[in-house]
Amino acid sequence: MSNLMIRSALHSRKLWSPVIAAALLLSPCAGYAQSATNADRWLHVRVVSTDSKGETVCVNVPLELAEKILPAINKKELHGGKITIDKLDTEGVDLRALLEAVRSAKDGEFVTVKGSDGEDVRVAKQGGFLLVHVTDGAGHIPHRHHAENDSADKKQDDRAAKQTVATSVSHVEVKIPLAVVDAMLSGGKDELDLVAGLRVLSAQGDTELVSVKDGEDTVRVWIDSKNTNDSEGGAR
């Protein structure tokens, strides 16, 4: 019985061997195709609102698509994938000079603002990234005043107050790779090369570029190799 089974197995192996050989031959190609797909970089935007309607907006854009489409747009300041900045209304700020200054500066914290009511603004350059951190909101925890407070009541008050603060405080984190800034400045004197910036951005690793938490709303912008907008995407 067992001989019969072995023979049958050998026979079926003979039958399957060309298929297995073909599969083995093709497997590097399959691996290559997979990695080629994985090499595509995607820019993701996710906006989640936790209000009663629970609005969610997810946008997934392949960077290569943006690279190809941008040069096709010729409208106002945008031409051939470049923005002409002399026409931009920057309220007297020389945007290019500002970016140049940041690019050539050493690592460190450029701006630190700590307001009395919980405001915290920090702009820094670190590890090849321009980092912007903003916390804004009520810095003090409002207490209800009672003539006589028992401890349980007070704890409940504190919890409610902390929840109010948690929803009213907004956090903004921006992380811009300076290589992208470099690439954007590589164009002419009065222009920012968006396509070059995108090209460099697509060479970056998985990165979270923008994170905003404002009360009930959360906004995230990140790049990775996935074509899906799952909430865990992008390195933090």
* Residue 138 near another protein by CB under 8 A: no
C-beta of residue 87 within 8 angstroms of C-beta of residue 77: yes
- 60 lies in the binding site for another protein (CB under 8 A): yes
d(CA 68, CA 64): 6
Q: Which spans in the chain are helix H? A: 2-39, 63-69, 95-104, 151-168, 178-184, 194-203
Instruction: Give the shortest CB-72-to-another protein separation in angstroms.
Output: 4
In the chain, what is the straight-line distance between the N-terminal and C-terminal CA atoms, in Å? 61
Supply the minimum distance, in Å, between the C-beta of residue 87 and another protein.
18
- Asked if 206 and 224 touch (Cβ cutoff 8 Å), the reply is yes
Of residues 146 through 175, those in contact with another protein by CB under 8 A are: none
For residue 76, state whether it binds another protein (rule: CB under 8 A).
Answer: no
Are 229 and 220 in contact by the 8 Å Cβ rule? The answer is: no
Decide if residue 112 touches another protein (CB under 8 A). Answer: no
* Backbone torsion region of residue 118, taken as left when φ is above 0, otherwise alpha when ψ lies between -120 and 50, otherwise beta: left
30 interacts with another protein by CB under 8 A: no
Q: Is 78 in the site for another protein (CB under 8 A)?
A: no
Of 130, 132, 133, the C-alpha closest to 99 is 130
* Contact residue for another protein among 21, 22, 26, 59 (CB under 8 A): 59
Least distance CB 213 / another protein (angstroms) = 19
As measured in angstroms, the least distance from the Cβ of 81 to another protein is 11
Q: Which stretch binds another protein (CB under 8 A): 71-79, 104-112, 163-171, 190-198?
A: 71-79
Question: Shortest distance, CB of residue 171 to another protein, whole angstroms?
Answer: 24
Give the sign of the dihedral formed by CA 218, CA 219, CA 222, CA 227. Answer: positive
Size of the site for another protein (CB under 8 A): 22
Of the candidate residues 30, 39, 57, 235, the single one contacting another protein (CB under 8 A): 57
Options 56-64, 101-109, 113-121, 168-176: segment touching another protein (CB under 8 A): 56-64
**C-alpha span between 189 and 196 (Å, rounded):** 15
Return the residues of window 31-50 that contact another protein according to CB under 8 A. 37
Give the one residue of 62, 118, 137, 215 binding another protein; rule: CB under 8 A.
Answer: 62
Is 231 an interacting residue with respect to another protein (CB under 8 A)? no
Residue type, 44: H
8 A C-beta contact, residue 177 and residue 128? yes
Neighbours of 196 (CB within 10 A): 19
* Interacting residues toward another protein by CB under 8 A: 37, 53-62, 64-65, 68-69, 72-75, 227-229
